[in-house]
Structure 1
């Protein structure tokens, strides 16, 4: 008797019968497969075939996994409908056929492939060495794959027999597939489309879910326990799809089709990114699931509870969110928390942030826009923004790591003293339009000087062709009218703020008043403006005695620097510690 199917997330209903999902060595596959008409023919080229051979041969892992093979039993037939895996199984068939044809092995391929609409494929596969590539498109690709296989073996020269023996042995003791049996009621064509549109494979999380539900069902006294686990799984998945929570633990990185994979990967640990072996999480968890499926599930529930607890704690939320945005992985932070009390974990987070920042007070004062210092400046200003929001105890506001992740942030000059980076007429015209509006709004410019400058800009804007010499002349007058006459370092941290890098180049090279007006416009429109960037352009840090709304002067810079130091002080190192660290590098 079959139990109702449980969704795995990619359109593959998963029965709770344990036979629905299992690992198999390639050498043990001896079934007859039927390839239905909804599939295209064999289409692998030289690159795919050679990569498979190289990957199997060069892998030093105990197990090498191919992508899952999805099959469905055909009623009253001894064949299996091959829903997904035709390309891989056909290539493996050709490799085995080559070994037999060249007398490198005595055994022919143990399985067979029948095609609903391509009867000639049987003839091609029975003697691939004699295929005429020009016969049709299927013959072309099969002949090309067989030629690639031949060249790969022959490239080993006198060691060809040795390589064939080793590779053949790997098929029985190393190379595995995930054998996935879909229930009989599955709509095969729909599953095939979902797996192949965009080439979405079964993921680690989906395989873990299928095996977990199967083992829970067989281990529990009541069949309903597996449905409870499935409901909890879906609930966790919904929680992790909260954009703010997801960005908090991932820095907003795009997710797999299942978000819960992040928790599974964190539990397992190991390499990340491209260095992570295929199905590493599933293979690592599989023995534990076989032995104690509910115990594995409790670990997932505990990690989910831990993360949601962090999310609800303002201090932990902001510190963990910063660390993740700065490059730490969730698994690293989880490992950091193990065995620690709340206060110990807080101290560990502060220490880790200090490591990322790696600055003394003097180091902060020396931060600037140039070279490697720009990276450290951007990180320092991010932490300032996060800390500013965290410290607002009477407010429920949080730093939005989701909004942060949605934009590309960069260091921008609060006040730019020249537009030298603008080199095109369209950029000059836009710069003049922006500054024309600002000049009209600054009351401290004498009326006669303002009118003269506005007229000069209007003439330039109306000119059919604006030449650079004309623009540079007007630019100098505008900078003099809207800028501060000072020799201070334009690239100093005291003149830098976080802004989204989507701003156009004319705005990036604008003076303070132009940027202030634009920031206010965006803020009113509902755009996300980092708290400290907003504060800078509202002159929040400058004392009342030093206020001059339309310019960014020395008093503003000094007040801003003190605010930066105040926000970062809990994370700053002593000058001696920084010097010792630099000496060790």
Structure 2
């Protein structure tokens, strides 16, 4: 494949196969890599021996019998110095098969051939070139009597494993503009950008027209726009939308291979390159079909909630696509139920025993309760917001905190007292004389110069006794799942350690202000699960906890495993 007007050539190229004459144009600064960059390049290549390794792209444009080096000067210059060092030291017989010259710094090309320390202070370019050369010398010297062995292995790797993505820009593209765009990150050469450039280049050749390329480019933009919907992106990734390109998720899924930090640089492009070159239409059809599948899942409320939960809990799009392959909708739905059941992995007895200390399992159970509560509303268009879930710092919140032992600063004590004073002002159904006495005690503490711990603990005890009147809290009840809810956390320790009445007021205020409150958290603080004749709004009673627990069991019932004792 060769480049023509309007096209770009993309291909992997072994470093040892780079040849020709390169010139660095005036719009670029000189060589500036230091010890860190040079050392990282050497170490990364050395650590990748015996396996493919990709460097960042080298962007060039044909200029007569030379290559204009649009991007990649620092890498090619450093590689040239490595070749030159091994040749000069007699470690290898030959140097690089390419040359470099500089449009505005003619002396630098000669200095690359022999970085003379006596001339290193002559100008800034010589200084950096000489410093890089000495870094290379030190790296090889660190191998001691195995220096020759290291040179042989390193040299072989440059001809067998280490590649650059060779990006030959279209002839009619202004190189200076391309350089500026690359270096401000507006068109980063990610896997997705490389796949797009190659795909459009091949599609321009279809049937001798440009129509297919224009159609593909338009479809690409539609898919990228769809995937940039924050709710859809969070639904299929469990993450907030931070990636530069979102269509890369589909491309990575098709390419397969390692994920996360274990994924090699440009793995997707290299895996898909030959297929795109051979069958661009067939490849693009798969991308379009995968996009349609994801949109179909997203638009189906039932699948949206089940898949969204599994992804939020660490499931991958790739595994779910594999699970759905060849199955009817009902069979796929049943498989999702099985996956959720396996992920929850709880019997009713085990669910009842979950506590604050078992944060991961308790958090998972409460998340599923919220998701399922929304999903089950079959005549509603409401959806659980996986976008809010991905963006938040969700934590287990005690619906009713028994005490404020974790508060240990004057600022926290004062805030706690102010919050509870506000709750006491509107409290009905308690001894009013006792309430006024506690209010007076709080005012005295808050208007004093400094609140002492002794004074705070006395106020705390009187407040909690008044707000807990008639509320018997047994051992372990405070940390039980029946006293826990999901809430977007923060650093407000005073609120976290507050009693029910204070938290209820704060959560309702957040709800009025538009903060996202999970449906079951809101319901708990509204006493939605308790019968109307049992309502009292200043504490979370044992009856409230049991009604809440029964609702958790009811909602999660279809995903609970059979108790061993019950089965026996």
State the TM bucket, normalised to the shorter chain: over 0.9
How far apart are the structure 2 equivalents of 1:254 and 1:121?
Answer: 44
Query: 1:21-76, CA deviations, whole angstroms, 9 ceiling, x for partnerless residues?
Result: 222221121222222333232222223222222222332564321100112233xx
The answer to whether the Cα contact below 8 Å between 2:524 and 2:548 also exists between their aligned partners in 1 is yes
- Would the aligned equivalents of 1:131 and 1:139 in 2 still touch at CA under 8 Å? no
**Residue 494 of structure 1 aligns with which residue?**
482
Q: Does 1:276 align with 2:263?
A: yes
Counterparts in 2 of 1:476 and 1:132: CA distance versus 1, 3 Å = farther
Q: Does 1:144 align with 2:137?
A: no
TM-aligned CA deviation for residue 140 of structure 1: 3.2
What does residue range 341-490 of structure 1 map to in structure 2 within 5 Å? 341-370=328-357, 373-483=358-468, 484-489=471-476, 490=478
CA contact (8 A) 1:16 1:217 kept: no
Pairwise CA RMSD = 2.2
Over 3 Å counting, the alpha-carbon distance change for 1:396 and 1:113 in structure 2 is same
Paired position in structure 2 for 1:243: 230
Quote how far apart the aligned CAs of 1:152 are. 2.3
My pick for the range that moved more, 231-240 or 35-44, is 35-44
Q: Given that residues 129 and 146 in structure 1 are in contact (C-alpha distance below 8 angstroms), is that contact kept between their aligned partners in structure 2?
A: no
Whole-angstrom CA distance in 2 between matches of 1:271 and 1:156: 32
Distance 1:131 1:172, change over 3 A: farther
1:359–1:578: 8 Å Cα contact kept in structure 2?
Answer: no
3-state SS, counterpart of residue 220 of structure 1: helix
Number of the residue aligned with 1:32: 21
Q: Does 1:523 align with 2:511?
A: yes
Q: Which residue of 1 aligns with 2:78?
A: 91
Q: State how 1:170-181 maps to structure 2 within 5 Å.
A: 170-181=157-168
- In the TM superposition, residue 102 of structure 1 has moved relative to its aligned partner by 1.2
Q: In 2 relative to 1, CA 61–522 (structure 1 residues): closer, same or farther, beyond 3 Å?
A: farther
Counterparts in 2 of 1:176-191, with a 5 A limit?
Answer: 176-191=163-178
**1:509 partnered with 2:503:** no
Native 8 Å contact 1:321 1:401 kept in 2? yes
The equivalent residue for 1:548 is 536
1:183-240 C-alpha deviation (Å, 9 max, x unpaired): 3443444433443346974110110111111112223343211110111110000100
Deviation at 1:169, TM superposition (A): 2.7
- Relative to structure 1, is the Cα distance of residues 459 and 49 closer, same or farther in structure 2, using a 3 angstrom cutoff? same
Q: Does 1:264 align with 2:225?
A: no
What residue in structure 1 maps to residue 58 of structure 2?
A: 69
Q: What's the CA shift for 1:551? A: 1.2
CA contact (8 A) 1:30 1:110 kept: yes
Deviation at 1:150, TM superposition (A): 1.6
In structure 2, relative to structure 1, the CA distance for the partners of 1:456 and 1:15 (3 Å cut) is farther
Question: 285, 308, 315: which one pairs with 1:321?
Answer: 308
Give the one of 201, 208, 216 matched to 2:195.
Answer: 208
Q: 1:80 to 1:267 in 2, by over 3 A?
A: same
Residues 42 and 86 of structure 1 are in contact (CA less than 8 Å); yes or no, is this contact kept in structure 2? yes
Aligned CA distance change for structure 1 residues 139 and 577 (closer, same or farther; 3 Å): farther
Structure 1 residues 216 and 147: CA distance shift in structure 2, 3 A = same
For normalisation by structure 2, the TM-score amounts to 0.94
Structure-1 separation of matches of 2:288 and 2:320: 17
Deviations 1:78-128 (A, max 9, x none): 322222111110110001101110122222322122223333322320102
Flag the 1:187–1:385 CA change in 2: closer, same or farther, 3 A: same
1:535 aligned to 2:526? no
Distance 1:52 1:116 in 2: 26
| Alpha-carbon offset, residue 486 of structure 1 | 2.4
CA–CA distance in structure 2, aligned partners of residues 105 and 73 of structure 1:
30
Counterpart in the other structure of 1:9: none
Equivalent pair of 1:16/1:213 in contact (CA under 8 Å): no
Counterparts of 1:271 and 1:369, CA distance in 2: 35
Cα deviations by residue, 1:6-34 (Å, 9 ceiling, x for unpaired):
xxxxxxxx9653x5222222112122222
Residue in structure 2 matched with residue 7 of structure 1 by the alignment = none
Q: Which residue of 1 aligns with 2:108?
A: 121
Q: 1:440 to 1:35 in 2, by over 3 A?
A: same
Q: 2:230–2:241: 8 Å Cα contact kept in structure 1?
A: no
Determine helix, strand or coil for the equivalent of 1:290. Answer: helix
1:56 has 2:45 as partner: yes
Q: Distance in 2 between matches of 1:133 and 1:398?
A: 66
Aligned residues: 563
Asked if the contact 1:268/1:281 (under 8 Å) is kept, the reply is: yes
Tell me by how many angstroms 1:257 deviates. Answer: 1.5
Residue 157 of structure 1: how far off its partner (Å): 3.5
Contact 2:6–2:171, Cα closer than 8 Å, also in 1: no
Indicate if the aligned counterparts of 1:26 and 1:175 stay in contact, CA closer than 8 A. Answer: yes
* Aligned equivalents of 2:550, 2:24: Cα separation in 1: 71
Q: Secondary structure at the match of 1:177?
A: strand
| Matched-pair contact (CA < 8 Å) for 2:228–2:241 | no
